[in-house]
Amino acid sequence: MATLEQTKEIFRRADAVCFDVDSTVIREEGIDELAKFCGVGDAVREMTCKAMGGTVTFQKALTDRLSIIKCSREQVNKLLTDHPPQLTPGIKDLVDRLHERNVKVFLVSGGFRSIVEHVASQLSIPHDRVYANQLKFYFNGEFAGYDETQPTAESGGKGRVICMLKEKYGFEKVVMIGDGATDLEACPPASAFIGFGGNVVRPQVKEGSLWYVTSFGELLKELEKI
């Protein structure tokens, strides 16, 4: 059983760090913002809470929420223009510091690629280091579902992405950082998990985390110890 100190040591010496996006790297839940923008905010927010709390499978929650939202390509683009995702304070400094140390940074999200790529650009993270769900649209721009073959579309998907990254790049130490149940369950195969409660505290995740932080400043401070 790892200890808090071992978790901190793994973070300081990580080859790669994988961040969840919604309520971690950004302040909001992207799917809730999209739902609100499309006029079905309340119904979808309730489903998001269940999904993040681990009371229903992620894939079922995603399918059910999208069947209510039914967003068009135009609505997604307008959301990004009118209400771009708000970065959590301190995340840019932390990602910059990790990049300076030649640590590979990935965004691994159950959210939507179009939104997550927008966030990746703000953080100078290459888009080929983004793993997220792909919305599908008909030729006229109307909603056509989502790509159910993406690993991030189902429970346990983030762990599968981390396995794939280890295999592809030969990483030994991979750290997962996030606020939700799908992040916590990615360790193992992640070498360590850091729970993040800077935007929302999920009791199940807080209890299951050896290291739980409420600001990215705490992680930056740890990197200074090297």
Which residues form the catalytic set? Answer: 20, 22
Are 33 and 69 a contacting pair, CB within 8 Å? Answer: no
Helices (H), the chain: 4-12, 30-37, 41-53, 58-69, 73-82, 91-100, 113-122, 157-169, 181-184, 203-208, 216-223
Query: Any idea what DSSP says for residue 140?
Result: T
Nearest to 173 by CA among 1, 4, 24, 8: 8
Nearest to 110 by CA among 148, 140, 77, 145: 148
Are 206 and 197 a contacting pair, CB within 8 Å? Answer: yes
Query: How far is 59 from 1, CA to CA, in rounded Å?
Result: 30
